[in-house]
Amino acid sequence: MVSKDDFLYPRGRYYGHVKPENLVFNANLQEFAQRVSYICNLETGGKLPPDEAYEQIKAMWKELKRTKKQLKIGESPSPNNGSEAED
């Protein structure tokens, strides 16, 4: 039996490098994509004005960028890989 939430908000498997921050960002990215799809469909169907659709997507994009920065996704690791510097 498939739940309503699983049907409305499907999640794809994650195949990348498994780290907690990558998994969290992947979940956020999938939610972003799903919400953008709904907003686009509402706008295409005439239920949402284009300006409102744009503003909602822009706000969600800014939130996604903020979480990416907080999770430090895409930042290069420190040269000493987090270990103490040798003297």
* pTM (2 d.p.): 0.77
Helices and strands in the chain, H and E counts: 3, 0
Look at residue 65 and tell me if it is in a domain.
yes
- DSSP code of residue 84: P
- Residue 32 belongs to some domain of the structure: yes
49: containing domain: 22-71
Domain membership flag for residue 60: yes
Residue 57 lies in a domain: yes
| Calpha distance 44→34 (Å, rounded) | 15
77 located within any domain = no
Are 65 and 83 in contact, with CB atoms under 8 Å apart? no
Mean pLDDT, the chain cut into blocks of 10 residues (87 residues total) = 76 88 94 96 97 98 97 77 48
- Asked if residue 14 belongs to a domain, the reply is no
Q: What is the pLDDT of residue 21?
A: 95
pLDDT for 80: 56
Q: Indicate whether 39 belongs to any domain.
A: yes
